[in-house]
Every structure is written in C-alpha cells, then in structure tokens.
Structure 1
Amino acid sequence: MSPTDINDITTQRMIEACRSRKAKPDIDSVALALLDARFRAFEITMRIDAVIAGVRAVRSTVALPVLDVA
C-alpha cells in the first residue's frame, strides 16, 4: 500500500467517516473525525495522507480559464 493509495477499503471507509463528520482537509480535523469514528491510532497514522487527499478531492473544484487562441 502506498501512502497515497485511496483504493484501499479501510481508507475509503475513513474518507466516508470524515465526509459524514464534515472534516476539513487538514490534519487536525481529519484526525479528530477518525478518532470520533473509532479508528485506531495506527490505522490513522498509516493512512492520514491518503485520507486528507480523499477529503480534499471531494471539497475542491477547479475552474479552468478558457483561452481563445486565434
């Protein structure tokens, strides 16, 4: 498992737990949401980067400017 693997079933459950608790994509908010969801500390430590990335992916939107090239 790579540190940013979000396809792991446990990581997906952690991301869903953070979404349901409306965690912000920062380490404190995500860690508290995961502790509240009763994940164990070693699971949180192993997957914190992937969970933050998963939470950030849900909350971020990208607006790309369209350049007219003539």
Structure 2
Amino acid sequence: MSSIDPTTAQMITAAVSRGAKPDADSVSYALLDARFRSFEITMRLDDVIAGVRKVRATFTVPTLDVA
C-alpha cells in the first residue's frame, strides 16, 4: 500500500476490517457500511479489490504444533 492515496488506503482498511471478500459486491457493501460515498467507491473499486486481495493473500494463521 505504498503508492496509493490515503483515501484508497482507508477504504482497503475499512473493507478488510468488515470481512469483505475480494469481489465487487462484498467490497461495495462493506464500503457503503463504512459510510463512503458511492462516487468514491465507483472511482476506486478496482484498487480496493486488489488491496483486499493482497491483504488476504498475505494473512497467515499461526498453527499450534502439538507433537
């Protein structure tokens, strides 16, 4: 998220925190829930979906090694 504008970064954070999947409907509903305006969502939807996809891809769940 280094070369994106602050609003897009906030939108990615809001979508991820609301558990959005990396698809248009899920991200749009999450951003509407976060009170972003529809024209902002329309302008940045592709970037936010890519950001959500990147965050979900880098998320790892620690496992407990019981041996």
Which category of TM-score, normalised to the shorter sequence, fits these structures?
0.7 to 0.9
Larger Rg: 1
Identity %: 70
Q: CA shift at 1:14, angstroms?
A: 0.1
Match of 1:44 in 2: 41
Deviation at 1:7, TM superposition (A): 1.1
Partner in structure 1 of residue 61 of structure 2 = none
Aligned positions, number = 56
The match for 1:59 among 46, 51, 56 is 56
Q: Which has the higher helix share?
A: 2
**What TM-score results when the alignment is normalised by the length of structure 1?**
0.76
CA apart distance, 1:15: 0.2
Unaligned runs of 5+ in 1: 1-5, 62-70
In the TM superposition, what is the alpha-carbon distance from 1:50 to its structure 2 partner?
A: 0.1
Aligned-residue RMSD, C-alpha: 1.1
